[in-house]
Amino acid sequence: MKDRQCLYFGIFQLIMWAGVANGEFYSSVDSMHELAQVEEELLNATRSYLESQQKQLDFYRRYVEQLKREHEWATTQSKLDEYLGHPLHAFRLIKRLVQDWDALILEPIVDNDAREEFSAHVEALGTVFGYPDQSELQGAVKGLARLQAVYNLTASHLADGVINGVSYGSDLRWRECYEIGVQLFDLGEYQRSLEWLQVAVMLLQNSPEKEEDVEHYLSDIREYASMANFELGNPKKAGILLNQILESQPTHSAQQTRKYLESRALGKIDQETNPTWLANYTMLCQGRRLPEERSADPLKCYLDGKRHAYFTLAPLQVEPVHLDPDINVYHGMLSANQILSILDEAEKMQMFRSAVSGNGGNSTVKDLRVSQQTWLDYKSAVMKSVGRINELVSGFDMAGAEYMQVANYGVGGQYEPHPDYFGVNLPVEFKGDRISTSMFYLSDVEQGGYTVFPKLNVFLPPVSGALVMWHNLHRSLDVDARTLHAGCPVIVGSKRIGNIWVHSGYQEFRRPCHLTSDSYKSAGYQN
Ligand SMILES: *[C@@H]1O[C@H](CO)[C@@H](O)[C@H](O)[C@H]1NC(C)=O
Ligand SMILES: *[C@@H]1O[C@H](CO)[C@@H](O)[C@H](O)[C@H]1NC(C)=O
Ligand SMILES: *[C@@H]1O[C@H](CO)[C@@H](O)[C@H](O)[C@H]1NC(C)=O
Ligand SMILES: *[C@@H]1O[C@H](CO)[C@@H](O)[C@H](O)[C@H]1NC(C)=O
């Protein structure tokens, strides 16, 4: 029954977050693993298909050679009459045409078992995993654009495979940059589209493509660049680019594009109104603190052996990162082995879910998209100790805890700023709102993926094994809006976290409520 409830609750969660973070393939390294597996299977299937086709073709070729030899022998001797006059020869020619050509050549070529098997295999793979579609490609490009925006990365650096000064040796070709530019144009990101198209032009001019091809491709890129310029309110630049195309290729479709643009009102530059949190968020994600009017006293790390007898011998390593609301990082809470066991358990849950959705027909892609998070109860040995750690450190009763949500974010994967409390529409499965959040880091992240609190000037780089804990509610149980937080996009690597939310219902004796909100302590903040 509990499972049911939590499953239901999980779905509820996903719906709630769907608006904030679309979990596409690209945003979870785990679901990208599945795509890599699909590609491997396609490669294997195609290779064996080609092999079987090759064998068949070799067989036909030998057979045709044999027929040809016999045919030539019959005809080139200019003794065809003589050849055909022989009753056995006449029989063989007729048999060849009646049976051999039909059975051995025409039929197998028309009814090609291997080809049917191949296409059945390809189709079956599609039903099990779901192939990514155009929207998925757009999602990946959006992810790239997001990385550029949050971390101020240039297209030319990205195309060189250089991220924040680190070279990953994965440089892009002109065609890929062109494709990114086109996708961004379709998404209405004209400025960024232009940036990628410019990189594409540069790479194309230095590419080993044939000269006449280069001219042809350049025209295609310029056509997009022209339209992007038009949308950005630069009709002059758009016109110049179209002229360049038509000079070298008078029949190019730029002709129609020009007519189309001339018939249209000038594109206007959408002054996008950025959300108010964006400036703080961007800076913190880059690991830069915001300037403050009065700088707070620096907080000192300390060892805490008194919280519970359990910590007498191995004191908690506490790094306070914010006071009121308190945000603390507890280092070294999970060992590498414990993390492996947790991720193992999460992966098994995932496989179970994939298997279920595999039978479910056409909802598979959707299911894959959400497979980036899963929920673990506290039954296994490792999860029992996770629950115990959470109880001892937070002081809260695990009776009010949701299952631990294990999430995986890949490149570009992020959550925009959100609070963890519900405020209204409390889920009926739990008593009260989410009083506290415990976020266990289950991996390091090579670049990016910080947890940031835009209202509190706090950024936290993920450190494997550490636990971050804070209260989402005031002592009065009113929501504390200052706890708004976000997961910054992962630039390089895979981010894994485990979240435990404890609800206020069972905590009457653990953190007694006050009659009034304690937000008076921090005047100026609105709930
Ligand atoms: C694909 O083929 C390789 C080598 O033949 C093999 O090791 C691998 O297991 C195959 N993969 C799948 C998914 O069948
Ligand atoms: C972004 O990077 C460029 C250099 O690549 C720099 O000139 C610019 O100031 C940066 N912008 C921000 C907001 O950091
Ligand atoms: C899923 O499949 C069912 C029948 O198999 C069909 O009626 C339905 O339209 C499909 N849904 C989508 C979103 O393709
Ligand atoms: C941005 O951070 C500053 C400094 O911490 C803070 O005073 C301000 O309220 C924050 N702005 C938003 C919109 O969260």
Is 303's pLDDT higher than 80? yes
Tell me what the pLDDT averaged over the chain comes to: 82
527 within some domain: no
- Closest atom of ligand 2 to 157 CA is 5
Average pLDDT over residues 213-231: 94
Is 377's pLDDT higher than 70? yes
**Separation of alpha carbons 308 and 322, rounded Å:** 22
Q: What does pTM read for this prediction? A: 0.76
Q: What is the CA radius of gyration of the chain?
A: 32
Which ligand places an atom closest to the C-alpha of 121? 1
pLDDT in tens, 405-446: 998 876 666 678 889 999 988 888 888 999 999 999 999 999
Is 350's pLDDT higher than 50? yes
Q: What is the pLDDT at residue 3?
A: 40
Share of the chain above pLDDT 90, in %: 45
> Which has more confidence, 423 or 21?
423
Is 265's pLDDT higher than 90? no
**Is residue 294 classed exposed, middle or buried when 0-12, 13-18 and 19+ CB atoms within 10 A define those classes?**
exposed
Residue nearest to atom 9 of ligand 2 (CA): 152
63 within some domain: no
pLDDT in tens, 71-111: 888 777 667 777 777 778 878 888 877 777 776 666 666 66
What is the distance in A from the centroid of ligand 1 to the CA of 32? 18
Decide: 319 in ligand 1 pocket, CB within 6 A.
Answer: no
What is the distance in A from the centroid of ligand 4 to the CA of 421? 20
Average pLDDT over residues 270-292: 87
Is 320's pLDDT higher than 60? yes
What's the per-residue H, E or C state across 10-61? Answer: HHHHHHHHHCCCCCCHHHCHHHHHHHHHHHHHHHHHHHHHHHHHHHHHHHHH
Residue nearest to atom 10 of ligand 4 (CA): 455
Q: What is the pLDDT at residue 163?
A: 86
Nearest residue to 504 via CA among 422, 382, 407, 416: 422
**Separation of alpha carbons 175 and 98, rounded Å:** 52
173 within some domain: no
Average pLDDT over residues 471-497: 92
pLDDT in tens, 53-68: 888 888 888 888 888 8
CATH of the domain at 347: 2.60.120.620
**Tokens linked to 512:** 């007694």
> Which has more confidence, 2 or 513?
513
Which residues in 329-366 are b (16+ Cβ under 10 Å) and which e?
Answer: bbeebbeeebbebbbebbeebbeebbeebeeeeeebbe
- Strands 485-487 and 451-453 come out as antiparallel
516 within some domain: no
Give me the domain span that covers residue 381: 299-511
**Separation of alpha carbons 179 and 170, rounded Å:** 16
Domain count of the fold of the chain: 1
Q: What is the pLDDT at residue 171?
A: 86
Nearest residue to 492 via CA among 175, 170, 23, 137: 170
Average pLDDT over residues 208-224: 92
Decide: 292 in ligand 4 pocket, CB within 6 A.
Answer: yes
**Is residue 302 classed exposed, middle or buried when 0-12, 13-18 and 19+ CB atoms within 10 A define those classes?**
exposed
| Confidence category of residue 287, pLDDT binned at 50, 70, 90 | very high
Average pLDDT over residues 175-203: 95
Residue 176 corresponds to which amino acid? Answer: E
Protein residues with CB under 6 Å of any ligand 3 atom: 361-362
Is 50's pLDDT higher than 70? yes
> Which has more confidence, 367 or 397?
397
Is 12's pLDDT higher than 90? no
Residue nearest to atom 6 of ligand 2 (CA): 152
Protein residues with CB under 6 Å of any ligand 2 atom: 152, 154
Residue nearest to atom 14 of ligand 1 (CA): 41
Which ligand places an atom closest to the C-alpha of 45? 1
> Which has more confidence, 69 or 515?
69
- Closest atom of ligand 4 to 292 CA is 4
163 within some domain: no
Which ligand places an atom closest to the C-alpha of 154? 2
493 within some domain: yes
39 within some domain: no
What is the distance in A from the centroid of ligand 1 to the CA of 44? 6
- Closest atom of ligand 2 to 154 CA is 5
Mean pLDDT is lowest, of 446-450, 496-500, 516-520, for: 516-520
Residue nearest to atom 2 of ligand 3 (CA): 362
Backbone angles phi, psi at 405, to 5 degrees: -95, 120
**Separation of alpha carbons 379 and 348, rounded Å:** 14
Residue nearest to atom 13 of ligand 1 (CA): 41
Which ligand places an atom closest to the C-alpha of 164? 2
323 within some domain: yes
